[in-house]
Amino acid sequence: MSINTKQVKKNAYRITKTRGKTALRIRVPGGHLEVKHFDIIKKVADEYGNGTVHITTRQGFELPDIDFDKIPEVNKMIRPILEGLELAIGVDISDLESGYCAAGTRNVSACIGNRVCQFANFDTTDLAKRIEKEIYPNDYHVKIAVTGCPNDCIKAHIQDFGIIGLTEPQYAQERCISCGACVKNCKKRVTNALNFENYSVKRDADRCIGCGECILKCPTGALTRSREKYFRLVIMGRTGKKNPRIARAFLEWVDEETIIKVIKNCYEHYIEKYIDRTLPKEHVGYIVDRTGYDLFKKEVLRDITLDTKVKVARYIDFGGYMYDRNTMFTRGYN
């Protein structure tokens, strides 16, 4: 049969190594779903695939060994998944029986967040779903992940946009018994941002990374999380064949609304204007390499007024290494 591979891939199906067979990728924004969707995934895998499911690195599912000519039937079967995981959170999909409308922008992944984890500073799944609503469907190759605290369990530092939840510890001196648990923990495990002065805890705001561990160590509730949610936004981390690298901090102590505007500006004003359209696709990080950080910063901060608390990176040296074996290795020990 004749196959439009470009359309197949856009529809979230893979071109696989087995001739005539494809694999369906299912998005799970925020990595959290109702178990009722497992029934459909199992039914598709049993009736159209080979009875197995691969759990992807981006918290989705991949169902292998589906015949290409069964794609229309599979698309109709997954309609409830599109309704529950996309339409219900505000994503606009006009034809729910045609499967996924795009696969370029990857599933927005998230750690488990404060629904379960004591370290997490906010509900990561809720933010991931909100971002999904703003950026999906879209063909641009962008990877986004959300993590609840600087422990970074979701590996936000290898994403184009890595969003890390912070809190600004609030201190009630009248509740403090000067036990020192918060100071000792910060010194041993974090950044040594706390110390005692006249039996009172002092926080060095320049050293504090907003992890909130001091709050968990306090036995009397003298330290609590701030009502306001803050984030560190790290950008342009990636794996890949050319220049793998760790994301670098772009904004710190920024709020959720600003995060959303920055990501939308990146899609609507930066990528749209500067992507190399002679290529089949271009990863956003390589656009930044080509245009430079200053232009990226100018476009993504367009029409945004930053709070005085927000820190913006003046310059970013992304670094990483180039995959050139001729320069990376020598034979033997010399």
Classify the phi-psi angles of 221: left when phi > 0, otherwise alpha if psi is within -120 to 50, otherwise beta. Answer: left
Q: CA geometry: angle at 6 spanning 300 and 53, to 5°?
A: 90
Second-level CATH architecture of 169-225: 2-Layer Sandwich (3.30)
- Counting as low any pLDDT under 70, the low residues of the chain are 1, 325-329, 334
CATH number of 5-89: 3.90.480.20
DSSP state of 158: G
For residues 334 and 143, give the distance between their C-alpha atoms in angstroms, rounded to a whole number.
40
Answer for the pair 162, 247: CB distance below 8 angstroms, yes or no: yes
Question: Facing residues of 165 across strands?
Answer: 231
Distance (Å, whole) CA 45 – CA 56: 15
DSSP element (H, E) containing 206: none
Q: Distance between CA 62 and CA 60 in Å, rounded? A: 7
Helix axes 256-265, 293-300, angle to 10 degrees: 120
pLDDT at 79: 98
Residue 94: what are its φ and ψ, rounded to 5°? Answer: -75, -40
pLDDT of residue 2: 77
**What is the rounded CA–CA span in Å between residue 288 and residue 210?**
28
Residue 333 has what pLDDT? Answer: 73
Q: Residue 138: its pLDDT value, please? A: 95
**For 109-166+229-312, which CATH class?**
alpha beta
pLDDT tens digits for 2-51?
789 989 999 999 999 999 999 999 999 999 999 999 999 999 999 999 99
- pLDDT for 321: 86
Alpha helix positions (H), 93-180? 124-135
Given this model, what pLDDT does residue 227 score? 96
Q: What local confidence, expressed as pLDDT, does residue 279 receive?
A: 92
Residue linked to tokens 């906010």: 122
Domain ranges in the chain are 5-89, 109-166+229-312, 169-225
Q: What is the pLDDT of residue 280?
A: 87
Pairing of strands 230-235, 248-254: antiparallel
pTM of the predicted model over 0.85: yes
Q: Collect contacts of 300-303 with beta carbons under 8 A, ≥24 apart.
A: 300/262, 300/265, 300/266, 300/269, 300/270, 301/262, 301/265, 302/265, 302/269, 303/261, 303/265
* Other residues' Cβ atoms within 10 Å of the Cβ of residue 197: 7
What the block records as the tokens of 171 is: 């201190």
Cα dihedral 31→32→33→38 (10° resolution): 60
pLDDT of residue 1: 65
Strand partners, 54: 62
